[in-house]
Structure 1
Amino acid sequence: MFIDTHLHIIDRQALAYPWLAAVPALDRDFLYRQYAREAERVGIAAALHMEVDVAPEAIDAETDYIRTLASEPGSLIIGAISACRPEEASFPAFLERKKADPFIRGFRRVLHVMPDELSEQALFRENMKRLDGSDLTFDLCVLPHQIPRAAALADLAPGTQFMLDHCGVPAIAAGDQHPWRENIADIARRPNVVAKISGVIAYADAETWKVETLAPYVEHVIDCFGWDRVIWGSDWPVCTLGGGLSTWVAATHALFAGVSEGERRKLYSENAQRIWELTD
């Protein structure tokens, strides 16, 4: 069974997603019921909702919307990773409010579509330090060349658990492994960083990828981080760009067919249970 640590729900009737207009393949509704039907068929037992870069004024509304979905009988959703804006002076008050909400399990500020300099601003860096002691995680969504900047953020808050999303977004379709490989090895030296093996089929050529295409990238991440610091995620619906949820789950099983049952359990569910203190 899987714990999905990276689920997105898109409901354009409920929330505004300014970025969707630039991604036509995702510019439609991807609702919870659609996800849950497929997720239950492929062995997903629980899910954490990952913020979907809603309009800044809708951050709290997104949390409330996902909380409503989680409250439905039999819901797979057990918590939420909230959007945040560490570059803003209001972040300390925002953090205190979210710390008081047990539904919130962590934060993410999407960085891969932002100027590289954003995470180097003094206020951003000062606010990142405030995460220490909060018991809330922080997801790092960056491109390969930005991984050193992500590592610098992890150094600012050594007591915070950071998650490197999507294996560091390698350029699988282009076959590029450098400087991605070197940057992965470097950030993996930080004990407070965990890697998400999440939806990497979205970064491969949708028409030609095979399990063998993904393997060098996924295996490098596992080799660098080890089995105690990797977690699984679907990145639904972004994974539909490379085939969809069932395809990604099948690829996952193929990628890890040769490892021990204990190693699979750590990746699929046990590490997530430990990190977020989730109950079965």
Structure 2
Amino acid sequence: MQLIDTHQHLILRGRLGYSWTAGIPALAEKAFTPEDYAALTRDKGFIGTVFMEAGVDDADYQAEARYVAGLVGQGGMLGQIASCRPELDEGFDAWIEECDRLHVVGFRRILHVVDEAISQSETFRRNLRKIGRKGLPFDLCFFARQHGLAEDLLMACPDQVFVLDHCGNPDIASGAFASWAESLKRLAEFPNLYIKFSGIPTNCAARPVTAEMLRPYTDHLLACFGPERTLWGGDWPVVDINASLPEWIDLTRELCRDLSADEQRSLGVDTARRVYRV
């Protein structure tokens, strides 16, 4: 099962600020570089990556995309998903235009850690529609309890392609399966929404993360979206909180072992190529 990693972070400590990593022992002090990533994924069946903005401090999000643009084409990096601020009109159009020159294949604004009203404003939605008119996807990062906010955005922006990150962030540690499963099924009814097979080891209580712990969630996800609307993501180095990247790759293959070869190719490679046009 070959893979395009659609959620490759880098933590370029010393160059950019990552205040959110403070207090997370696995991430708080180290840098996580392209060389580190290459060592972890060697001989793991990777055929490319898409960089995902790494939640840098607000002052640095444009600097991050400008720097990463110089890495595209190296080490299998096919493009980048850049951060943006749709809630602000000032500078938004200029930033989206500049990103045309930065190998940007999609955008994200992390929404699960900000005021929930941000995504409900008409300014946010008007600017989001501009991204849709450019034919670029927008990644959504919400907790399971916030799926209603995602549903509101999907209804407000029907011409925007969305990708729901991290399997919709189920609270696996608390065993909160039923509510996540119900709201995920509703979200899957929107044809402009894809989902990312990523991030869920972090939602477990602790190591070791096993396929048996994750299977109810991934089986339901695949039943709702199908492999043709599912993309794979490594979420490194955040995945290090509860599992290494090689462990997550091995878990993925175990969880997908009953899929056909065509279905594995859709989830691992083809959906990523179609959604991010890489």
- Corresponding position of 2:191: 191
Q: 1:70 to 1:130 in 2, by over 3 A?
A: closer
Question: Aligned partners of 1:31, 1:88: CA distance in 2, in Å?
Answer: 31
The 1:202–1:155 alpha-carbon spacing in structure 2 relative to 1, beyond 3 Å, is: same
Where does residue 97 of structure 1 map in the other structure?
Answer: 98
Give yes or no for contact 1:173–1:205 (8 Å, CA) kept in 2. yes
Deviation at 1:16, TM superposition (A): 1.0
2-side partners of 1:248 and 1:268: how far apart?
13
The within-5 A match list for 1:115-130 is 115-130=115-130
Q: Structure 2 CA distance, aligned partners of 1:161 and 1:150? A: 12
1:13 paired with 2:14, answer: yes
Give secondary structure in 2 for the equivalent of 1:123: helix
What aligned pairs does 1:201-216 form with structure 2 within 5 A after superposition? 201-216=201-216
1:164–1:101 Cα change, 3 Å: same
Q: Offset of 1:70 from its aligned partner?
A: 2.5
Q: Is contact 2:209–2:243 with CA below 8 Å preserved after alignment?
A: no
Q: Which amino acid aligns with 1:198?
A: S
2:4 maps to 1:3: yes
The percent identity for this pair of structures is 36
Q: Where does residue 24 of structure 1 map in the other structure?
A: 25
Which residue is 2:85 aligned to? 85
What's the CA shift for 1:208?
4.3
Cα pair 1:118 1:124 within 8 Å, conserved: yes
Give the drift of 1:18: 2.0
Cα distance in structure 2, aligned partners of 1:22 and 1:147:
27
Work out which of the residue numbers 69, 85, 90 in structure 2 matches 1:67: 69
Deviation of 1:139 after TM superposition, in Å, equals: 0.4
Quote the Cα distance in structure 2 between the aligned partners of 1:277 and 1:143: 27
Stretch moving more, 188-197 or 54-63: 54-63
Q: Is the 8 A contact 2:69 2:102 kept in 1?
A: no
Q: Distance in 1 between matches of 2:276 and 2:14?
A: 31
When the two chains are superposed, the root-mean-square deviation of aligned CA atoms in Å is 1.5
Distance 2:131 2:273 in 1: 20
Q: Mark the CA change 1:122 to 1:160 in structure 2 (over 3 Å): closer, same or farther.
A: closer
Matched, 1:271 2:271: yes
Aligned partner of 2:146 in structure 1 is 146
- The aligned residue for residue 217 of structure 1 is 217
Q: What letter corresponds to residue 148 of structure 2 in structure 1?
A: P
Determine the C-alpha separation between the residues in 2 that align with 1:40 and 1:207: 24
What TM-score does the superposition give when structure 1 sets the normalisation length?
0.93
Distance 2:264 2:5 in 1: 14
Would the aligned equivalents of 2:105 and 2:277 in 1 still touch at CA under 8 Å?
A: no
Task: Measure the CA separation in 2 of the matches of 1:95 and 1:189.
Answer: 29
1:27-57: CA deviation from partner (whole Å, max 9, x where unpaired): 1211110001111221111000000111222
Deviation at 1:273, TM superposition (A): 1.2
Say whether 1:180 aligns with 2:184: no
Deviation, 1:19, is: 1.4
Name the count of aligned residue pairs: 275
Q: Runs in 1 of length 4+ with deviation above 3 angstroms? A: none
> 1:97 offset after TM fit, Å?
2.6
Q: Please state whether the residue corresponding to 2:231 is helix, strand or coil.
A: strand
Gaps of 5+ in 2: none
Corresponding residue of 1:51: 53
Q: CA deviation at 1:119?
A: 0.9
SS for the counterpart of 1:49 is: strand
Report if aligned partners of 2:125, 2:157 keep a CA contact under 8 Å in 1. Answer: no
Local SS of the residue matching 2:257 = coil
**C-alpha distance in structure 2 between counterparts of 1:102 and 1:61, whole Å:** 11
